[in-house]
Amino acid sequence: MDVTTWYLEQTSHSDLIAAKSPSMEVDIVRAEVPSPEFGRFLYTAVGGDWSWTERLPWTWREWADWLDGVETWVAYHRGTPAGYVELALQEDATVEITYFGLLPWATGKGVGGHLLEVGTARAWDIAERRPEREPTRRVWLHTCSLDGPAALANYRARGFRVYDTRLNVPGDEYEGDPPGPWPGAGPRTRGGSGAVDSE
């Protein structure tokens, strides 16, 4: 199966386009204590239906080392995680949105656009929380045709522009059904509960 990967970016905070308010109350909070257990939970719960497999073999130490250098912002509804966005600080005042998505129960409620808006805004103002960094000049991400069907539309709706498209990038290919949020739990129907809102 061919996999298309799109690379998108914003080069100014003014590129960010606001989303509609979600249909339910959402609090977006930074997970300030690096927790490998929580990081792996979010990764598998959100990405299990979308072939997120790269980090499944990671050890506890690999998770701890990774999380020490990123910011994780989590959306909650009434104390329950609804989704997350992970921001990786890179050189040249660049921030990559390395992972973003919703838990299946939170889709279809306008949370995806709102979470992406807030997460992108936090990428732009990251220097306010990390005075050793210069102000952000670029925010970028990539998504592929294995991700939720609304993912690319959501990124574009928030003001991200495609600057490159590639076919069959090494590491993006995945054979077989998505593993689900835990072994044996998936797959759910693509385009159903795993879709990410674009509004």
Band of the pLDDT at 197, cuts 50, 70, 90?
very low
Residue 194 resides in a domain:
no
Domain that holds residue 98: 4-167
Q: Is the pLDDT of residue 70 over 80?
A: yes
* Residue 57: CATH number of its domain: 3.40.630.30
Could you write out the DSSP letters of every residue in 1-61? ---EEEEEEESSGGG--PPPPPSS--EEEE--S--HHHHHHHHHHHHGGGT--TTTT--HH
Does residue 183 lie in a domain region? no
**Within-domain flag for 196:** no
Place 3 in a pLDDT band, splitting at 50, 70 and 90.
confident
Residue 135, in any domain of the structure: yes
Residue 181 falls inside a structural domain: no
Residue 64 belongs to some domain of the structure? yes
Tell whether 184 is covered by a domain.
Answer: no
**Residue 95: inside a domain:** yes
Q: How many domains does the chain have?
A: 1
Report field, pTM of the whole predicted structure over 0.85: yes
Give the pLDDT band (50/70/90) at residue 184: low
